[in-house]
């Protein structure tokens, strides 16, 4: 019986590679050679944390402390262990190995507590897991790209067990930015890549929160000359400078000649 698939929302190639850029989808359906990619499959939480997150700070801290003291914090808000084990079993039936199976010492964290299973896919099983193959084509600027068409999907059994997200650990799907000035934005919750034009700037890419505090390294790695505060962080720093001045602090003055 053919495998039935469930589409993953917001999982097109442009969602992955070009979010908020206004880019057009690549074209072309050429064959892709041999490849290997590590992918994180992310499961739902065992319990909905909405009530916890909407409670006041004191109540939230009390609940978290009680769960932590009883050793049930991650069994409560991690993935369901039984579902996690069934996902592992179904991946084996699909012929998709976990990274842990290939190398127990690998630098990745796979556990029900982290809600994550790292797997390794290649040219033989990418379509088996995601319901569509990788293809070779070109982006709107003519650069060669490897991409997929439409949304990625998962076998219905995995989707029913709560696998809802994924993360590729690869540089196989590259982004080519058009030539112009850029800055790395240091935000309150996550960094951004900002495109600069005259006296204006706009968000081009939003980076995952794990890049927070690494903005200078990102700028160095990608040859971006400037790192600047943006959004709420910029506002908070401005308020702090104003308060320091109001209550007797000394605000540095610009140099004059």
Q: What's residue 155's pLDDT? A: 97
CA 197 to chain centre: 27
DSSP letter at 210 equals: G
Q: What's residue 175's pLDDT? A: 58
Direct distance between the N- and C-terminal alpha carbons of the chain, in angstroms, rounded to an integer: 80
The angle at the Cα of 40, spanning 138 to 161, to the nearest 5 degrees, equals: 115
Q: What's residue 194's pLDDT? A: 84
pTM of the model: 0.69
| C-beta separation of 187 from 203 below 8 A | no
Q: What's residue 248's pLDDT? A: 61
Q: Going residue by residue through the chain (257 aa), what tens digit of pLDDT does each one get?
A: 788 999 999 899 988 876 555 678 889 989 999 999 999 999 999 999 999 989 999 999 999 999 999 999 999 999 999 999 999 999 999 999 999 999 999 999 999 999 999 999 999 999 999 999 999 998 877 878 899 999 999 999 999 999 999 999 988 886 566 677 888 888 877 788 888 887 777 777 777 777 888 889 888 887 888 898 876 555 445 544 545 555 565 544 444 44
Q: Among residues 127, 133, 173, 165, which one has the least CA distance to residue 23?
A: 173
| C-beta separation of 187 from 199 below 8 A | no
Q: What's residue 257's pLDDT? A: 43
Count of CB atoms within 10 A of residue 190's CB?
15
Q: What's residue 192's pLDDT? A: 85
Count of CB atoms within 10 A of residue 59's CB?
12
Q: What's residue 247's pLDDT? A: 58
How far are the Cα atoms of 36, 157, 193, 214 from residue 15, in angstroms, in the given order?
A: 21, 24, 16, 23
Half-sphere exposure (CA, 13 Å, Cβ side) for 204?
A: 20
Q: What's residue 20's pLDDT? A: 54
- Cβ neighbours of residue 66 closer than 8 Å, sequence gap 6 or more: none
């Amino acid at each position: 019986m053919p495998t039935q698939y469930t589409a993953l929302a917001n999982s097109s190639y442009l969602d992955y590679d070009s979010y908020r850029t206004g880019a057009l989808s690549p074209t072309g359906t050429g064959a892709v050679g041999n490849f290997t990619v590590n992918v994180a499959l992310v499961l739902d939480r065992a319990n909905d944390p909405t009530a916890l997150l909407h409670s006041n700070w004191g109540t939230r801290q009390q609940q978290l402390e009680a769960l932590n003291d009883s050793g049930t914090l991650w069994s409560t808000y991690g993935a369901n262990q039984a579902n996690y084990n069934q996902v592992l079993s179904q991946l084996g039936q699909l012929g998709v190995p976990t990274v842990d199976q290939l190398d127990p010492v690998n630098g990745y964290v796979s556990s029900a507590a982290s809600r994550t299973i790292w797997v390794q896919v290649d040219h033989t099983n990418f379509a088996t897991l995601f319901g569509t193959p990788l293809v070779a084509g070109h982006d709107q600027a003519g650069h060669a790209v490897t991409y997929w068409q439409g949304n990625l999907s998962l076998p219905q059994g995995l989707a029913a067990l709560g696998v809802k997200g994924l993360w590729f650990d690869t540089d196989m799907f590259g982004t080519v930015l058009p030539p112009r000035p850029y800055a790395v934005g240091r935000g309150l919750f996550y960094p951004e890549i900002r495109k600069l034009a005259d006296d204006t700037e706009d968000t081009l890419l939003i980076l995952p929160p794990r890049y927070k505090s690494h903005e200078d390294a990102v700028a160095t790695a990608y040859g971006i000359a400037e790192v600047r505060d943006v959004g709420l962080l910029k506002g908070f720093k401005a308020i702090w400078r104003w308060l320091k001045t109001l209550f007797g602090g000394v605000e540095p003055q610009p140099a004059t000649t």
